[in-house]
Structure 1
């Protein structure tokens, strides 16, 4: 990679990292507002499963990541799905051509899970079953909304984003731990990142 291209790549990576870090920052603000004085115990509780072992939630996360990634890859290959020509998807292509970009998508998956599942769901569930499902759907919808600009025009990709978001939310809701959705999201992002890197490197 030439020096100019390297500078451009790291500039894009920095912008993407700052964007993803916003989820972490906003998440801490929300926790501070709703759990002032209990921030650390609340954050710790996001990772501790409800009624199953830590090993169980890790296995659940790995199994979920395998099924999600396999189904999406087979679907995309069979339908020959392409990323749309938008500014956001162009940035994704540029990021993915280097291992550092793929690592960034893994970090992004962690930050997104912390905010959309841990904060937006974790803070507002437990009042009633109706409220729980409403919170899950709102969180999933917001997760989908932030991906619309980069995948605008690619209906199949947008459907996958919504379904994945719902699966990640349900993984958190039923296990009580962020570990399964983080594992599923991170492994999915890395797998898709490797495929995109091979596809767009040239």
Structure 2
């Protein structure tokens, strides 16, 4: 890797890192506004499952990650799906050809995005009624889908997969009461897809 290429890669990773960290910051601000003195207990409670053990939550996350990854890979292979030619997808390709980019995607998606879209947006708004709960889940999933539209604009199959995955991650959190399953599922999925993209686009 030349010095120029190294600097460009560093800038790309820094830019992506700042974007992902913003989810953590904005989410923390929301929790502080709505919970104030109960901020830390609320955050801690996001990781404690409702009626199952932590081990069960981990297993659910691992199994879910393998299922959604297998389905996505089969779908991509069968349909010969390609990333669209957009600025966002070009950025993804450049980031994913490096191991640090794959790690960033796993941590960013698995931790920061899950914390914000599931832990904060859903966690702060559920518990009033079943109708409200499902409305919150759909809205959160839609917002998660929206931020991926610029990256995958024109790729209907990929965007459909993003929405379905977002809904699965939301339901994992909702039914277990813990971010552990959705964080694991999202993180492992991103690692798997990242490896595939790295092999495909490294040339």
TM-score band by shorter chain is over 0.9
Aligned residues between the structures: 202
Task: Give the drift of 1:23.
Answer: 0.5
Q: Tell me how far apart the structure 1 counterparts of residues 28 and 66 of structure 2 sit (CA, whole Å).
A: 30
1:116 corresponds in structure 2 to: 117
Q: Tell me how far apart the structure 2 counterparts of residues 201 and 5 of structure 1 sit (CA, whole Å).
A: 14
- Match of 1:67, SS state, is helix
After superposition, what is the alpha-carbon deviation per residue over 1:117-153, rounded to whole angstroms, capped at 9, x for unaligned? 0000000000000000000000000000000001000
Q: Tell me how far apart the structure 2 counterparts of residues 6 and 200 of structure 1 sit (CA, whole Å).
A: 17
* Structural mapping, 1:110-189, within 5 Å: 110-189=111-190
Unaligned runs of 5+ in 2: none
Q: Kindly report the root-mean-square deviation, in angstroms, between the aligned alpha carbons of the 2 structures.
A: 0.4
Q: Tell me how far apart the structure 2 counterparts of residues 192 and 10 of structure 1 sit (CA, whole Å).
A: 21
TM-score (norm 2): 0.99
After superposition, what is the alpha-carbon deviation per residue over 1:140-192, rounded to whole angstroms, capped at 9, x for unaligned? 00000000001000000000000000000000000000000000000000000
Q: Tell me how far apart the structure 1 counterparts of residues 26 and 155 of structure 2 sit (CA, whole Å).
A: 29
Task: Give the drift of 1:2.
Answer: 1.1
TM-score (norm 1): 0.99
Q: Tell me how far apart the structure 2 counterparts of residues 197 and 16 of structure 1 sit (CA, whole Å).
A: 17
**Aligned: 1:25 with 2:13:** no
Unaligned runs of 5+ in 1: none
Q: Tell me how far apart the structure 2 counterparts of residues 103 and 63 of structure 1 sit (CA, whole Å).
A: 20
Q: Tell me how far apart the structure 1 counterparts of residues 68 and 107 of structure 2 sit (CA, whole Å).
A: 19
Q: Tell me how far apart the structure 2 counterparts of residues 54 and 27 of structure 1 sit (CA, whole Å).
A: 24
Q: Tell me how far apart the structure 2 counterparts of residues 158 and 99 of structure 1 sit (CA, whole Å).
A: 25
2:104 corresponds in structure 1 to: 104
Q: Tell me how far apart the structure 2 counterparts of residues 130 and 105 of structure 1 sit (CA, whole Å).
A: 33
Q: Tell me how far apart the structure 2 counterparts of residues 2 and 200 of structure 1 sit (CA, whole Å).
A: 18
1:34 corresponds in structure 2 to: 34
* Structural mapping, 1:35-114, within 5 Å: 35-109=35-109, 110-114=111-115
